[in-house]
Homo-oligomer: A and B are copies of this chain.
Amino acid sequence: MTQSFTLAQLAETLGLDYQGDGDLCLEGVSTLEKAGPHALTFLANPSYKKFLASTKAGAVILSPGHAQTYPHAALISDNPYATWAKALTLMHPLAHPAPGVAATACIDPSAEIHPTAAISDHCVVGANCKIGARVILGPHSIVEANAEIAADSRLVARVFVGHDCQLGQRTIVHPGVVIGADGFGVALDNGHWQKVPQLGRVVFGDDCEIGANTTIDRGALGDTILGNDVRIDNQVQIAHNVCIGDHTAIAGCVGIAGSTTIGSYCMIAGASGIGGHLTITDQVIITAMSTVVSSINSPGTYGSGIPAQPHQRWKRVLARLAKLDDWIGRLKKIEKGSSD
């Protein structure tokens, strides 16, 4: 669904200045390259600046600097990408399902479902759950006993929320996510593993978003905690008693082991692994496929990923690595010789 706006309406709604014809009707969105005369587009990444001169877009979201030299209609923003995100949200509003509970949903009579919430087909909601105002539980979602989903949140489809867990307001959870499964707790007892019951919860702040098939385990004794505005991509694994600070973003396939605390405004790139019982301070960036095995106390960028290279060259590096000891021994011998 697309909602049309005139350029002037959009500027007013977003609290921005514009240049060009305010009555221009923007009926859709596109890229600089492909936009037609009634499409809105944007320029944020400098590598796309080359397309600005020739774009046929109805209007472009531009920084003040770019707008100055652009002779056509523009929406002027200090942060074009964020403005783009907001304009898309206005022009492509989410189709909100009608409130109510689908006939095929199984709702425990003790659950409190807000009358404005929409519970889709085949959902299961357990005893004493609280489902807030305007919440959407997409098809096949399971919310176990005593869990709470705060106002304006959306479980897109097939999400599992374990008993007693709490999701904040305006949370988005994508299909296949498992929140509040048991953490991996076992104790070796005479050669057999004894399961350690996992008694904690998962507790979210507001405005979090969780990507498809991500798993977030409940705490062992205390809780696993996500702060406000935590953004997590697909297939991320968050173990029991992890604590993630406000505004931290975690890319796909990252794994975080138990009881680790991550600060706010951190950015963890894809497929990195973070060990257990660590503390990562605020504003730490971890590069892709890195292995974090000790705490990080200073903001900054850290990593240990190795760029792929032609196989024969990499095999040679590995062979050299394996013999590093030899070479260093030979170097020491020379040093000893030259000092003789």
Contact = CB atoms under 8 A, between A and B. Distances in A.
Given A124-B139, A211-B181, A221-B31, A231 B187 contact: no
A23 interface: no
Query: In the complex, which range does the number of interface residues on chain A fall in?
Result: 35 or more
Interface in A142-193: 142, 144, 156-158, 160, 162, 172, 174-176, 178, 181-182, 184-189, 191-193
Given A92-B197, A211-B184, A320-B324, A303 B311 contact: yes
A100 to B, nearest CB: 14
A296 to B, nearest CB: 8
Copies in the complex: 3
A54 interface: no
A229 B331 CA distance: 51
A16 interface: no
Interface of A: 29-31, 79, 81-82, 84-86, 88-89, 92, 102, 104, 106, 120-122, 124, 139-140, 142, 144, 156-158, 160, 162, 172, 174-176, 178, 181-182, 184-189, 191-197, 199, 207, 209, 211-213, 215, 217, 221-222, 229, 231, 233-235, 237, 239, 247, 249, 251-253, 255, 257, 270-273, 275, 285-294, 300-311, 314, 316-318, 320-322, 324-325, 327-328, 330-331, 334-335, 337-338
Given A85-B189, A290-B308, A233 B331 contact: no
B160 A160 contact: no
